[in-house]
Amino acid sequence: MPNKPNIAIIGTGPSGITALKNLLDQGLEAIAFDRNHDVGGNWIYSEQESHSSVFETTHIISSKTLSQYEDFTFDDFDPEIADYPSHDELRRYFQAYAAHFGLYEHIEFNTLVLSCSRTSNGEWKVITEKDGAREEGFFSHLVVCNGHHWKPRWPDYPGEFTGEFIHSHSFKKAEPFRDKKILVIGGGNSACDVAVETSRVSTHTSISWRRGYRIIPKFFFGQPSDKIGEKSAWIPLKIRSFLFDLLLNILVGKNELYGLRKVETKFAEVHPTINDELLYKIRHGKVMPRLDIKRLEGKTVVFEDGKKEDYDTIIACTGYYLSHPFFDKNLIDYSSGPVPLYLKMFHPEIENLYFIGMFQPLGCIWPGAELQSKIMARELAGKWQRPKNIQELCQREVTHPHYQQIDTPRHTITVDFHKFRKELMKHLPHDYISKSSRVQKIN
C-alpha cells in the first residue's frame, strides 16, 4: 500500500461531509462519492423516490444547539434559525458547511459506489458508476457514510392486503392521501409524523402500535426537551427515568387517557418518539389508536382485539435496515445485528475501514459523527493510535450497551448522546475544534 493514505468516502450526507472536512484538515488526500447531485443526504427532500426519506413537513427532533457541528455552528450559519429547523434549513446548513470548508472540489456527485472489495495487498478496490460508465479506483482506506435510514424494513402479516401498501420511505407529503382511509403502522417518529400529516386531509387515519410508546413533547417549561435532558444527564439513569416519567405523567398524562397502549417499557428501553401533535390529533378525533394487526383480508384489516376496518392505504413506518450493498455479505453484514465496532466506527480486524455516523443516538447524529471523524483523521495523520485490544473493545460495545433496550431490529446501534460524546472526546485534544475555512465566501 502507498505510504501516504489516499482515502475514499462513500456518501456526503451530514456524516460524510464532516469525515471529508476533518481528513482534509489533517492534510490528507481524500475523495468522496455520492450518488446524489449535492451534499445533504437524507435532508435533500425530493418528491420522487430517492435516497432521502424526509417528508415535505419534516423538522428535526433534536434542538439546534444539540444538532450542530462544533466547527460550524448554527450561529456561524444563521443566528436567526429556530429551535427546530426544517429539512430545507438543514440542507442549506450542510451545503454551507461544505462550501465554507471547500469540500465541493473533493466530491464526485452522481456517482454510485457499486462495490468495495479488498485486494491481496489489503487496498480497497472501489467500483463506481456515473452516467452508465463504470470506473475502478484503488484506495488505502475506506470511510463508509452511506446512512442507515433508506432501506425499508417491511412488516409481514398473514393474509393479503389488496389496497395500496407503502413504506414511510416513499411517503413524501399528505396530499396524495386526501379523502382516503389510512392506516399507519408503527410508534416511531416516522409513524407519528405520518399519522399527523395524513390526518389533515384523509377521511380517516388510524395508527397501529404493537406496544406502548412514550410520546415526548418538543418543549418542557418553554425549553426544548432535549435541553432539559442535557441538564439532567449527570443524574443516574434509574433516577433520571423515574423523574422524566413523573414529569411526563404530570404534564402530558398517561397513554391510556388517549386510548393508546400503556407504556410497559422503562425509559430508553425503546427509542424515544418526539411529537407535539399526535396526542392533540387523537383527542380531536383525527387519529384513531389501534392495536397490532392480526391479519389482512382484502381491504379489511383485522386487529388483535378482533376489530375489523377497511382501508384504502396502509403506510408501514416500520423502520430501516442497516445496509451496505457495496460489500460482499461475507465481509460486512450488519442488517440483523449485532454491530461489533469500537466507538461504533473501528472494525475488529479490518484496520483500513471506518464507519462514520452509523449509530442511533437518543438525539442528533452529526455532532457525534464530527467527533468520530476527528479521531479517524488523527489516526490517519499518525497523531493517535487505536487501542491494541480493539477486538475485545468491539465485543464490549455489544455486551455493554449504554442502554439495555428491548430486542427489536431497530435497537442494535443505540448510544446515549452525552455519554457517547464523552467517550469520543477522551480521544481528542482540548483544542479539537477547528473553524478555519478554506474558502472565504459561503454560497
Ligand X SMILES: Cc1cc2nc3c(=O)[nH]c(=O)nc-3n(C[C@H](O)[C@H](O)[C@H](O)COP(=O)(O)OP(=O)(O)OC[C@H]3O[C@@H](n4cnc5c(N)ncnc54)[C@H](O)[C@@H]3O)c2cc1C
- Nearest approach, Cβ of residue 41 and ligand NAP (Å): 12
- Nearest approach, Cβ of residue 180 and ligand NAP (Å): 21
Are 359 and 343 within 8 A, CB to CB? no
Residue 66 to residue 88: CA distance in whole angstroms:
18
408 binds, among ligand NAP, ligand X, none (CB under 5 to 8 A by kind): ligand NAP
270 binds, among ligand NAP, ligand X, none (CB under 5 to 8 A by kind): ligand NAP
Burial (CB < 10 A; 0-12, 13-18, 19+), residue 164, is middle
Ranges within 238-297 binding ligand NAP (CB under 6 A): 270-271
| Contact between 97 and ligand X per CB under 6 A | no
| Contact between 210 and ligand NAP per CB under 6 A | yes
Phi, psi at 76, each rounded to 5°: -70, -25
Angle at 368 between CA 14 and CA 434, to 5 degrees: 80
Residue type, 390: I
Pairing of strands 300-303, 308-310: antiparallel
Which grid cell sits at 314?
Answer: 396502509
Would you put residue 375 in left (φ > 0), alpha (ψ -120 to 50) or beta?
A: alpha
| Contact between 223 and ligand NAP per CB under 6 A | no
Ranges within 18-77 binding ligand X (CB under 6 A): 33-36, 41-43, 51, 53-55, 58, 60-62
Site string for ligand X, 127-166 (x = CB under 6 A): ------------------xxx-xx----------------
Among 104, 100, 95, 94, CA closest to 439: 100
CA 273 to each of CA 46, 232, 247: distance values in angstroms, whole numbers, following the listed order = 24, 19, 16
Burial (CB < 10 A; 0-12, 13-18, 19+), residue 175, is exposed
Q: Which of 408, 422, 438, 443: binder of ligand NAP (CB under 6 A)?
A: 408
Burial (CB < 10 A; 0-12, 13-18, 19+), residue 400, is exposed
- Nearest approach, Cβ of residue 169 and ligand X (Å): 8
Q: Is the peptide bond before 338 cis (omega within 30 degrees of 0)?
A: yes
| Contact between 404 and ligand NAP per CB under 6 A | no
Are 205 and 286 within 8 A, CB to CB? yes
211 binds, among ligand NAP, ligand X, none (CB under 5 to 8 A by kind): ligand NAP
Pick the closer one to ligand X by CB: 31 or 60. Answer: 60
425 binds, among ligand NAP, ligand X, none (CB under 5 to 8 A by kind): none
Site string for ligand X, 305-344 (x = CB under 6 A): ---------------------x------------------
Q: Which stretch binds ligand NAP (CB under 6 A): 122-130, 190-198, 295-303, 321-329?
A: 190-198
Residue 378 to residue 26: CA distance in whole angstroms:
7
Strand segments, DSSP code E, in 77-178 are: 107-108, 112-118, 124-130, 133-139, 141-144, 151-152, 159-161, 164-167
Residue 389 to residue 51: CA distance in whole angstroms:
37
Q: Which of 5, 14, 229, 272: binder of ligand X (CB under 6 A)?
A: 14
| Contact between 168 and ligand NAP per CB under 6 A | yes
Pick the closer one to ligand NAP by CB: 198 or 360. Answer: 360
Ranges within 299-318 binding ligand NAP (CB under 6 A): 317-318
410 binds, among ligand X, ligand NAP, none (CB under 5 to 8 A by kind): ligand NAP
Number of residues that bind ligand X (CB under 6 A): 34
Site string for ligand NAP, 118-157 (x = CB under 6 A): -------------------------------x-----x--
Edge-to-edge order in the sheet of strand 159-161: 159-161, 293-298, 300-303, 308-310
| Contact between 10 and ligand X per CB under 6 A | yes
Residues that bind ligand NAP in the complex, under the rule CB under 6 A: 58, 60-61, 149, 155, 168, 185-191, 193, 210-211, 270-271, 317-319, 360, 408, 410
| Residues found near ligand X in the complex (CB under 6 A) | 10-16, 33-36, 41-43, 51, 53-55, 58, 60-62, 112-113, 145-147, 149-150, 190, 326, 357, 364-365
